[in-house]
Amino acid sequence: MTTPAEAVTRLRAAFDAGLTRPVPWRREQLLGLERMLDEDEAAILDALASDLGRSEVVSHLADLGTARSSISHTLKHLDDWVAPRRVKVPVSQKPGRAELIAEPLGVVCVIAPWNYPFLLAVGPLIAAISAGNTALVKPSELAPATSALLADLLPRYVDPEAIAVVEGGPDVAEAVLAERFDHIFFTGSTRIGKVVMTAAAAHLTPVTLELGGKSPAIVDRSARLGVTARRIALGKFLNAGQTCIAPDYVLVDESVVDQFVDQLTTAVDDFYGADPKLCADYGRIVNRRHLDRLRGLIDAGGFDEVVRGGDSDPEDRYLAPTILTGVSPDSEVMQEEIFGPILPVLSVASVADSVRFVNQRAKPLALYVFAEDDDALDQVVDNTSSGGVCTNHTLMQFALPDLPFGGVGDSGMGSYHGQAGFDTFSHLKSVLRKSTRPDPSVLYPPYGKVKSKMLRSAL
């Protein structure tokens, strides 16, 4: 098995030889990824089902469809992104031409998480390839079937001299982070994000950190409660709640909280039936350790009632879609990102109270607000800070290829998707092109009063 050090040495040699710079080479790799999605779709779906209990439909929506869309969008716009970007030149610098040239960074590292183990490995890789880099991909060992599949498939569809996959647990991750990269792209928890950033600092390596946090959903009294409940339930319980931008908790206007909870429980029943364990579209917790952690949040209490769910089956890695009401802000379930199918519902007096609640906590990766009142929507959007916002829906902001996706504060730094991803893995080099003519003597010393006055007025 190739070590991280050996892989990086090979990737560095390929980059230094100029292998990845030609745009036709980049297109060839992207088309290879596209063929992989088409030819090995069944194997990818099987791996995701093994790791996360996913149905084919959910994996198509969450992983394969989004990856296909990203490749198609990148191929369509790549020539425009690569082209030099003209910059206006002031009169004092004329004649001259200024531009930004996007050059590849070099050898980059993509460290993928276990919750969307295919998409969140391939998605950043698409951006890295489009920008002309070589890349080391480290899949998550907690999704072993998908990790093994990526290690098998990628060398068959993309240039193995320029793209490498290393598998393994924390010891391999530590060895990866000991290497010098030109950029590290990490998706995962805030805790591990700090480890990645510390390791990167030793080499002054820039990082993109796609983290998480407690992403709130705010429900105003003007919201259409039936639609709101369905969309929050969809966003929360997709992939058994193991989504970094899933609604982590809901702040509901006290005048409509009871009606909202009724609609929410109805939505869960409609989606997954009386026994979600039997529903093909409801996933599983990634492993027993995470299931025990989630069970601990329920067992710790700090809420009035479990109005739906709460039951689990350790042997099947199953935890039912769970709705908690009368939740205390000080309860254990409200202290850290849940990352599972538990949804706390809290009652608030107004949208202004919701804004204060959110602003007293770490900045989330996503924020959702539901209202028919435009003033209520604007109040939340204008007075909170988060990686991104979606009004009257959940998760959909991730699917827009031209809408940069990333966090702020504890929820991460940097962004990708579309041109933002290309730019993340590029250095936008500033270039000013000047001529040797004219060559006015006023630029050169000695500077007397006349020259000084002329130069001051020109700048």
Domain ranges of the chain: 4-211+407-431, 216-403
Strands annotated E in 62-122: 85-87, 96-104, 107-111
Confidence of residue 203 (pLDDT cuts 50, 70, 90): very high
Q: Torsion-angle region of residue 241: left (phi > 0), alpha (psi -120 to 50) or beta?
A: left
Q: Is the pLDDT of residue 182 over 80?
A: yes
pLDDT band at residue 156 using 50, 70 and 90 as cut-offs: very high
449 burial (CB, 10 Å; 0-12 / 13-18 / 19+) is exposed
Q: Please give the pLDDT value at position 134.
A: 98
Whether the ω angle into residue 440 lies within 30 degrees of 0, i.e. cis, is no
Of 325, 348, 307, give the one whose Cα is nearest residue 221. 348
Question: Are the C-beta atoms of residues 29 and 159 closer than 8 Å to each other?
Answer: yes
Is-contact 394 235, C-beta < 8 A? Answer: yes
Closest CA to 121 of 202, 50, 185: 185
Classify the phi-psi angles of 256: left when phi > 0, otherwise alpha if psi is within -120 to 50, otherwise beta: alpha
Catalytic residue among 109, 179, 244, 390: 244
Report the alpha-carbon distance of residue 97 to residue 74 in Å, rounded.
28
pLDDT for residue 39 is more than 90: yes
Q: For the purposes of burial, counting CB atoms within 10 Å of the CB of 25, is it exposed (0-12), middle (13-18) or buried (19 or more)? A: middle
pLDDT digit string (tens) for 205-249?
999 999 989 999 999 999 999 999 999 999 999 999 999 999 999
Average pLDDT of the chain?
96
Tens-digit pLDDT profile for residues 63-98: 999 999 999 999 999 999 999 999 999 988 889 999
pLDDT band at 139 (very low <50, low <70, confident <90, very high): very high
Q: How high is the pLDDT of residue 372?
A: 98
188 by Cβ neighbours in 10 Å (0-12 / 13-18 / 19+) ranks as: buried
Query: For position 286, what pLDDT does the model report?
Result: 96
Strand partners of residue 164: 136
d(CA 125, CA 30): 9
High-pLDDT (> 90) share of the chain, %? 94
Whole-number pLDDT of residue 19: 98
Asked whether the domain spanning 216-403 has the same topology as the one spanning 4-211+407-431, the reply is no
- Tell which CATH classification among 3.40.640.10, 3.40.50.620, 3.90.1170.50, 3.40.309.10 matches the domain 216-403: 3.40.309.10
The residues, ordered by sequence, that sit 6+ positions from 259 with a Cβ below 8 Å of its Cβ are: 225
Q: Can you tell me the distance from the alpha carbon of 257 to that of 253, in angstroms, rounded to the nearest whole number?
A: 6
- Token pair 């480890």 is found at 195
Confidence of residue 383 (pLDDT cuts 50, 70, 90): very high
Angle between helices 41-52 and 23-39 (to 10 degrees): 70
| Cis preceding linkage at 446, omega within 30 | yes
Q: What is the pLDDT of residues 385-394, one digit of tens each?
A: 999 999 999 9
Average pLDDT over residues 18-28: 98
Mean pLDDT for the stretch of residues 111-119: 97
Torsion of CA 104, 105, 106, 110, to 10 degrees: -110
> Catalytic residue at 210?
yes
109, 179, 210, 337: which one is catalytic? Answer: 210
Helix 23-39 / helix 65-82 crossing angle, nearest 10 deg: 170
Is pLDDT of 455 > 90?
A: no
Domain 4-211+407-431 belongs in CATH node 3.40.605.10: yes
What is the rounded average pLDDT of the residues 50-65?
93
| Catalytic residue check, 109 | no
pLDDT in tens, 184-198: 999 999 999 999 999
- Distances in Å between the alpha carbon of 218 and those of 123, 232, 243, 249? 29, 10, 18, 9
The answer to whether the beta carbons of residues 4 and 104 sit under 8 Å apart is no
Average pLDDT estimate for 437-451: 90
pLDDT at 402 over 80: yes
DSSP characters over 15-49: HHTTTT-SHHHHHHHHHHHHHHHHHTHHHHHHHHH
Per-residue pLDDT for 24 more than 90? yes
Among residues 83, 79, 87, 89, the alpha carbon closest in space to that of 101 is found at 83
The pLDDT of residue 16 is above 80 = yes
> How many CA within 13 A on the CB side of residue 313?
10
- Distances in Å between the Cα of 184 and the Cα atoms of 110, 177, 400, 412 are 6, 9, 23, 13
The pTM score is 0.95
- Residue 459 pLDDT exceeds 90: no
Task: Indicate the angle between helix axes 23-39 and 119-130, nearest 10 degrees.
Answer: 160
- Asked whether the predicted pLDDT for residue 100 surpasses 90, the reply is yes
Mean pLDDT value across residues 302-313? 96
**Choice between 91 and 360, residue whose per-residue pLDDT is larger:** 360
